[in-house]
């Protein structure tokens, strides 16, 4: 159903919804709240301790004109509550001043109480409208543009009445396992009365989504043949000799992984293997050893990377390690002439290994004899994309790699068709990275430390969650870039984010590696694979917004040289729960242990990660549920397929949703 058919949604408003990925009512009912305001927890400003987060109902008296203090833009409003006067302050969010008018509001944020002055800093807010029933748990949605909480709440309510929301799970299984109606669960998520009610509803919706996803995986896997069509002639001794090309000795884990790959490619069955290892465990070296095997046997190989920055880095490495072979490169930043020449050479068999990004998957890219595929950082690629790569050869061997550790229990469900190799150890040369949680009052001290380290020739990363502010909740990377340039004028800063052209990103990253810049201010585009030995400091703003596994990935961008390295975690909110999680990261360097802990603390929705694309993850990222939901979904899917319950309906729904996602990704 079109959004414009809803009461209160005209064409202009529908376009605003489209900006946040909502095209129709089916999208809207699955646009779940990011949090809830508990109306029973409203407090008096007199009761709030310094640095506590509070929900305050008060009257906005006036708003001062935007002030500029150096590069900082300051908005200040005067508030009153039961005769007490205090202020609300927003930093570098000048647009806030236009949204505030005198009247009754709810403010939610961190309260500062020092030197006799009380203020609530960077709070979210909404009018206490008399027509808005603010009782119990009130949903808070991510917003953008002119959308307000009231607009979204009203539109969601209308959409829920219009959508049928049928479950894909067979009715027989719904009855057998006493599952609540799907529509009732989705409605509850948008309007819960209690936390317990919300938890049960989130688990029911998550069960539905995982059942659909696991069913899609099962259907896709069922069409695959695993017969080997090529015979490799490379010998085990030649593979052992190849390892000597590297300037370091392989660890026991790396050697075991290479042995697994060799046994696969010399068996009658094609390889379909997941290689996972912690940050810095040496997966790339194992992948290169794997690529050597088909090339030594006279076949072609492909190395697929998720970003042009990483692809360019891998291309340089391939040329260095394989001087006797022809290495090709194909990415969005290549010129039209380069693309034509590489595609022609590849089809003619004049390129032995092709390194590139998603450009490798285009329909006009053809290999003469593709035998071996490497998919780097597999969580950035979907099943469909890996299949597209496989289809460019006749049953080629597939090695997918992940530095994002997957708890073993989950990998058995999602990668049940894959053989899994884990590299448990790290190269001896890798440095341990110290991690510190930095409070706001220590921010200046941290910058001073970085200033000294830069003078000594070191480099640093500054990472933000998003490019633009989300209701003032997350530090903007562009704002941070300007602030840091003002605070450290003698330091050479570069800016890097996902909306830049691939060519520009590659140039900036290369310049940073050449030390033309001292510090790089970036989004999580630098998360995977980037290797800069002189980078010894990683600063992560709003660290509470990331999962532990993702933070561990970011931390792994430093500590790649011989010097002491630090990871600084800056907290913008989240209270005690956020500090608990970050303390786990501070005290743990084992990525697999962190993945299990992340699953335990935040649930599978957060484990999957917010940086991933696709509606599936967008829907579930705000829900809280445990891993047992996934196991239940697997059990239901197994039973449904074994008994062929509603098979045609499941196939239509599961593959229909899979096709609509284009890129089902797992972290």
pLDDT tens digit string along 433-448?
899 999 877 889 999 9
pLDDT of residue 435: 95
Could you list the beta-strand ranges (E) of 298-409. Answer: 300-304, 327-330, 353-356, 370-375, 397-402
Q: Which of 191, 187, 197 is nearest to 159 (CA)?
A: 187
Q: Which of 531, 532, 442, 517 is nearest to 485 (CA)?
A: 517
> Hey, what CATH topology would domain 248-423 get?
Rossmann fold (3.40.50)
Q: Where are the domains of the chain?
A: 35-140, 248-423, 433-588
Q: Which of 31, 37, 2 is nearest to 190 (CA)?
A: 31
Say yes or no: do domains 35-140 and 433-588 share a fold.
Answer: no
- The 3-state DSSP class for residue 430 equals coil
> Hey, what CATH topology would domain 35-140 get?
OB fold (Dihydrolipoamide Acetyltransferase, E2P) (2.40.50)
Helix (H) or strand (E) holding 461: strand 459-463
Residue spans of alpha helices (H) in 179-281: 182-190, 195-221, 236-242, 252-265
Phi and psi angles of residue 439, each rounded to the nearest 5 degrees, phi first: -80, 165
Instruction: Answer whether CATH 3.40.50.300 is correct for domain 433-588.
Output: yes
Contacts of 622 (CB under 8 A, 6+ apart): 32, 33, 34, 35, 605
DSSP state of 543: G
pLDDT of residue 112: 84
Cα-trace Rg, the chain: 26
CA–CA separation, 302 and 297 (whole Å): 15
CA–CA separation, 470 and 286 (whole Å): 41
Q: Which of 141, 106, 126, 164 is nearest to 17 (CA)?
A: 141
pLDDT of residue 406: 64
**Burial (0-12, 13-18, 19+ Cβ within 10 Å), 213:** buried
Angle at 451 between CA 437 and CA 488, to 5 degrees: 100
Buried b (16+ CB within 10 A) or exposed e, 299-309: bbbbbbbbbbb
CA–CA separation, 64 and 84 (whole Å): 19
CA–CA separation, 70 and 378 (whole Å): 44
Contacts of 496 (CB under 8 A, 6+ apart): 505, 508, 509, 520, 521, 522, 523, 525, 526
Q: Which of 53, 51, 55, 57 is nearest to 112 (CA)?
A: 51
- Number of Cα atoms under 13 Å in the Cβ half of residue 373: 32
pLDDT of residue 474: 46
Contacts of 238 (CB under 8 A, 6+ apart): 296
pLDDT of residue 666: 37
Q: Encoding tokens for residue 104?
A: 């009754």
**What is the DSSP annotation of 89-130?**
EEES-TTHHHH--SEEEEEEEEEEEETTEEEEEEEEEEE--T
Could you list the beta-strand ranges (E) of 300-432. Answer: 300-304, 327-330, 353-356, 370-375, 397-402, 419-423
Residue numbers in the chain where pLDDT is lower than 50 = 131, 468-474, 604-617, 660-667
Q: Helix 182-190 vs helix 149-162: angle between axes, to the nearest 10 degrees?
A: 170
Q: Which of 9, 30, 35, 8 is nearest to 141 (CA)?
A: 35
> The pTM is what?
0.59
């Amino acid at each position: 159903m079109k959004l414009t058919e809803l009461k209160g949604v005209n064409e202009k408003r529908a376009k605003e919804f489209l900006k946040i990925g909502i095209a129709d009512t089916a999208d809207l009912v699955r646009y779940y709240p990011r949090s809830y305001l508990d109306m029973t927890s409203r407090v008096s400003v007199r009761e709030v301790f310094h640095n506590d987060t509070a929900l305050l109902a008060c009257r906005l008296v006036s708003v001062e004109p935007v002030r500029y203090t150096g590069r900082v833009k300051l908005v200040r409003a005067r508030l009153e509550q039961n005769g007490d006067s205090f202020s609300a302050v927003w930093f570098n969010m000048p647009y806030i001043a236009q949204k505030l008018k005198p009247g009754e509001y709810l403010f939610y944020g961190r309260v500062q109480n020092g030197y006799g002055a009380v203020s609530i800093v960077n709070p979210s807010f909404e009018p206490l409208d008399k027509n808005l029933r603010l009782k119990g748990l009130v949903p808070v949605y991510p917003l953008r543009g002119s959308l307000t909480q009231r607009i979204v709440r009203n539109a969601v309510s209308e959409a829920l009445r219009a959508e049928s929301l049928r479950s894909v799970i067979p009715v027989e299984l719904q009855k057998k396992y006493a599952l609540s109606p799907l529509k009732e669960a989705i409605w509850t998520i948008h309007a819960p009365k209690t936390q317990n009610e919300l938890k049960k509803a989130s688990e029911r919706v998550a069960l539905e989504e995982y059942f659909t996803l696991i069913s899609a995986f099962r259907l896709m896997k069922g069409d695959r043949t695993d017969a080997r069509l090529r015979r490799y002639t490379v010998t085990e001794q030649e593979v052992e000799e190849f390892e000597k090309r590297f300037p370091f000795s392989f660890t026991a884990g790396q050697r075991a992984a290479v042995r697994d790959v060799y046994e696969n490619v010399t068996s009658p069955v094609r390889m379909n293997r997941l290689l996972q290892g912690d940050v810095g465990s040496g997966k790339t070296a194992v992948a290169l050893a794997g690529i050597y095997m088909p090339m030594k046997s006279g076949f072609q190989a492909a190395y697929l990377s998720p970003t042009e920055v990483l692809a360019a880095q891998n291309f340089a490495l391939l040329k260095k390690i394989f001087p006797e072979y022809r290495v090709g490169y194909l990415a969005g930043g290549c010129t039209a002439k380069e693309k034509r020449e590489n595609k022609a050479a590849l089809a003619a068999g004049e390129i032995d290994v092709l390194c590139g990004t998603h450009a490798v998957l285009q329909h006009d890219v053809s290999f003469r004899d593709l035998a071996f595929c490497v998919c780097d950082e597999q969580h950035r690629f979907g099943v469909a994309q890996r299949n597209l790569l496989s289809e460019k050869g006749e049953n080629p061997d597939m090695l997918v790699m992940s530095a994002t550790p997957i708890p073993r229990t989950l990998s058995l469900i999602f990668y049940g068709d894959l053989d899994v190799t884990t590299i448990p150890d790290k190269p001896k040369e890798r440095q341990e990275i110290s991690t510190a949680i930095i409070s706001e009052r220590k921010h200046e001290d941290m910058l001073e430390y970085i200033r000294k380290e830069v003078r000594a020739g070191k480099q640093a990363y500054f990472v933000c969650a998003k490019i633009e502010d989300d209701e003032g909740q997350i530090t903007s990377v562009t704002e941070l870039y300007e602030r840091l340039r003002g605070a450290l004028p003698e330091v050479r800063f570069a800016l890097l984010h996902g909306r830049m052209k691939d060519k520009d990103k590659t140039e900036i990253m290369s310049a940073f590696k050449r030390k033309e810049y001292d510090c790089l201010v970036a989004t999580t585009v630098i998360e995977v694979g980037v290797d800069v030995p002189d980078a010894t400091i990683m600063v992560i703003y709003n660290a509470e917004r990331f999962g532990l596994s993702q933070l561990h990935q970011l931390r792994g961008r430093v500590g790649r040289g011989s010097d002491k390295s630090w990871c600084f975690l800056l907290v913008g909110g989240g209270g005690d729960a956020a500090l608990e999680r970050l303390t786990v990261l501070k005290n743990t360097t084992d990525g697999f242990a962190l993945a299990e802990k992340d699953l335990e603390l935040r649930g599978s929705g957060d484990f999957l990660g917010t940086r991933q694309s696709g509606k599936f993850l967008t829907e579930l990222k705000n829900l809280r549920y445990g891993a047992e939901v996934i196991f239940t979904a697997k059990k239901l899917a197994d039973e449904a397929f074994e008994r062929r319950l509603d098979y045609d309906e499941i196939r239509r729904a599961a593959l229909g949703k899979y096709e609509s996602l284009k890129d089902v990704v797992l972290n």
